[in-house]
Structure 1
Amino acid sequence: MARLFTYLAVLVGLLSSLIYFVVEQNADAYHIFETDHLHDLAKRGIAAHGNDTRSIVRYITAELHAMHPDHVNLDEEYILNNAGGAMGAMYIIHASVTEYLIIFGTAVGTEGHTGRHTADDYFHILTGEQWAYTPGEFLPEVYPAGSMHHLKRGTVKQYKMPEACFALDSTLDFPTLWRTSYVTGREMVKNLLVGKF
């Protein structure tokens, strides 16, 4: 049984490397969302609805659904998420192997670190404010509603949403999603093989 698991692990490792290489070389061909459009859409939603976050989110998702009806989740399923020490809720609008699009925010404020992404991350502030700190700087970066915090690949910062703040978060990130899915699947299969449900 251990030998079979080893062969399966090697096969999955080889296939995942091949898939990663092919997708990474042609990543743009798999993307359906454009950063400039998302930023414009976020600003139009804010202009139409002010500080009414729910209406801004519905404005954004309605337009995205009209453009990509098979790829946009309209069920506003908010899930608490704790990453980098910051807690907030996220609503997954789109998740695929090559990109994701979520609403992330909190009504009470939060603080933590951004994490180090393997792709650029675009944080379009819808309501509230996000502050960011880069080591070595002496003043915070301040991102109010309507602005975009572009976190470049490999960069990590401390950030804070001092009060209520919600944002449209997008990234074109194959490796992180693939690695998360792979490790989760691997561990589930491993436990099933030993009788653990």
Structure 2
Amino acid sequence: MAYVFDPDTVHECALACLGKPKPAMFDAFAEAMESSYPERLDLDQPWIFSNAGGAMIQMKLYYASLFEYIMIWGTPIGSEGHSGRHAVGFWDTVIDGEMWYYGEGQFDKRVYQPADRVYVGPNQARAMNFTDGVWAVEYARGPLPLSVPFGVADELLSTLDFATAAQTLTVYASLVGHHWQQPAPDGTPAPALRRALGTVLGRIGPMLTNAVRPPAPDDRIPSDT
């Protein structure tokens, strides 16, 4: 398998976020990644919720294929839950806040702060606590479709947040389409059929995302007067 991204390079790009306010830190990561991997990212996808393993966060996906994804995720108020046990490996770099992890047989929490790296490998799992808020860059590598049920199960069976489940799938489809239109890591052009399928997904995916996207948050108190 020829992967597009190198975990160490993604980590170095994540370090460009440190010390910057939100959302400038997210822009700094995108700029660093564009410099290292020109035209590989899709910067236009929206921030969406994610409920998985009992933890609630929001995420912005920048890249996804059948075997890799890159995103920034986080929460300003904290959450906790189960990482899931996947066939995929996950590399995370904390860019703001703090998170605590522990695995089976570990009796003290592992504390991760800005610039720290976290790795959860295939068939491993962690208990996670995000204290009072954390933001992180995540790179995943492996058979991602096998993890899709974990990513939408809570939304379909617990929170009943069907809009978020739908957005998760349509954004993923859009990004796969973007990937299929690009050359292989060695520069070999994508086959014509793959490019054509990628073009279709790249056009239909954003339309579907817009169709299922809920209204923007509105904190105003309604009045009958």
Matched, 1:38 2:10: yes
Provide the secondary structure at the position in 2 that maps to 1:101.
Answer: strand
Provide the secondary structure at the position in 2 that maps to 1:53.
Answer: coil
Cα offset, 1:179, TM superposition: 6.8
Query: Which residue does 1:194 correspond to in 2?
Result: none
CA RMSD of aligned residues (A): 1.9
Tell me the TM-score normalized by structure 2.
Answer: 0.62
The counterpart of 1:177, out of the listed 124, 145, 151, is 145
1:1-197 matched pairs, under 5 angstroms: 27=1, 29=2, 31-46=3-18, 50-75=19-44, 77-174=46-143, 176-177=144-145, 180=148
Cα offset, 1:133, TM superposition: 1.4
The structure with more strand, counted as a fraction of residues: 1
The structure with more helix, counted as a fraction of residues: 1
Cα contact 1:65–1:71 (8 A) shared by 2? yes
Gaps of 5+ in 1: 1-26, 185-197
Tell me the TM-score normalized by structure 1.
Answer: 0.70
Amino acid at match of 1:97: L
Provide the secondary structure at the position in 2 that maps to 1:91.
Answer: strand
Cα contact 2:86–2:147 (8 A) shared by 1? no
Choose 1 or 2 for highest CA Rg: 1
Gaps of 5+ in 2: 150-168, 170-225
Cα offset, 1:76, TM superposition: 5.3
Residues 1:134 and 1:58: Cα distance change in structure 2 (over 3 Å): same
2: distance between equivalents of 1:129 and 1:114? Answer: 16
Amino acid at match of 2:44: D
Cα offset, 1:54, TM superposition: 1.5
Cα contact 1:134–1:158 (8 A) shared by 2? yes
Cα contact 1:42–1:126 (8 A) shared by 2? yes
Query: Which residue does 2:157 correspond to in 1?
Result: none
How high is the sequence identity, in percent, across the aligned residues? 27
Residues 1:172 and 1:127: Cα distance change in structure 2 (over 3 Å): same
Could you list the per-position Cα deviations for residues 116-138 of structure 1 after superposition, in whole angstroms to 9, with x for gaps in the alignment? 12121101111001100112221
Cα offset, 1:65, TM superposition: 2.3
